[in-house]
Structure 1
Amino acid sequence: MLENTFRQVNIALVNEVAIISRALGIDVREVIEAANSKPYGFMKFTPGAGVGGHCIPVDPSYFSWRARQVGAQARFIDLANEVNDQMPKYVSDRLLKLIGKPAKGLHLLICGVAYKPGVGDVRETPADGVAQYLTDLGAKVSWYDPLVGNWRGEKSALLSENFDGAIVVTPQPGMDLKALIDSKTPIFDCTGAYKGLPLVEQL
């Protein structure tokens, strides 16, 4: 439980640094790599659309709940949960800003809906928060993930379809976005995996 809480807190820290870096006009991944060049004392975490899986989104909240039961405070944990929980909204708003239009009526694509690369597990995936937020704003939301067969009661879309914009939540192995780039679809990449490609903006 402590190890999962440790990761939750550090992911929240780097997510907040990403938001601040954006406001300052700084590439957060360059900042992280610079810090990672120190031979000791730094443990690398990277920002993203939130946290997922059966451990990190769950264990810290249980830890905090148990602390409150015995009259203790878990302010650090609660703040980390708050930061990570708001990331799906933040990255979705960044996508809409990139497109330059309100969400209502747009056809948007989530690329990579598993909670981490290399698996088809969608438990507690941050893609859920992204999909729900954009749907609530009136967008039609489709998804693509080569390792996931069914999600939210739907099958994966084809990248050859027409989309107004796309957001990369999880960089699945072999997930080639060439069709989206060729069709000049604006892409917001939460992962850094597609840095340098045309029409792709980074978190």
Structure 2
Amino acid sequence: MASMSYTNTTSLRIGQINAQGSKTATNEIRKVAEDLRLDIVCVQEPYCLRGKLPAMPITTRVILYGDNPKAATIVFSRAVTITSIDHLSSSHCVVVEVSSTVGSIVMVNQYYQFEEPIAGHLHRTQVAFRVFQSLPALLMADVNAKSILWNSPTNNERNEELQLLIQELGLQVENTSGGPPTYENRAGASSYIDVTLSNNEAQGRVAN
């Protein structure tokens, strides 16, 4: 679980996690959010039952799409107003506009399916950031791409197209330098394949 504080006059506490389709990991999100006092959690590869996220409090708002969603945005804070941007969202991409005491911010929660070409996922990212270029915007994504920009010791082919998009949109990598691996499998192998990006309007407001 990664957490960040999006800071203006106060803070909006956001968590990001890939649950790897695990029921146990998905069920633990509620407790982790309470312990870390998170307002919002962006989940990639959640465990879902009939298109719904189980084990969430009745007061929680969950935004996801399709019968087999690969991204879900969970709002725990009652002080947050959230608007789903349906025409930009899909089973793999949840785009929302969040309003709170820090103002308005667009959040793109995305899972780049490893078995699929990266171009289609990049296109969704590109469109969302262009539509909302005048607002602060963040991308929280499992991109399944390795890059030295987000601490991986090596690059892979999927990284090249993503880096071009980062340059085109003027995005900033918010991953902490020297941070731990963002993915670890049951055999203990680890890698850096998850990234947080901010646009010009959000840069300088993201911490931790």
Above 0.5 in TM-score? no
Structure having the higher strand fraction is 2
Q: Identify which of structures 1 and 2 has the higher relative contact order when contacts are C-alpha pairs closer than 8 Å and 6+ apart.
A: 1
Larger radius of gyration: 1
TM-score by length of 1: 0.31
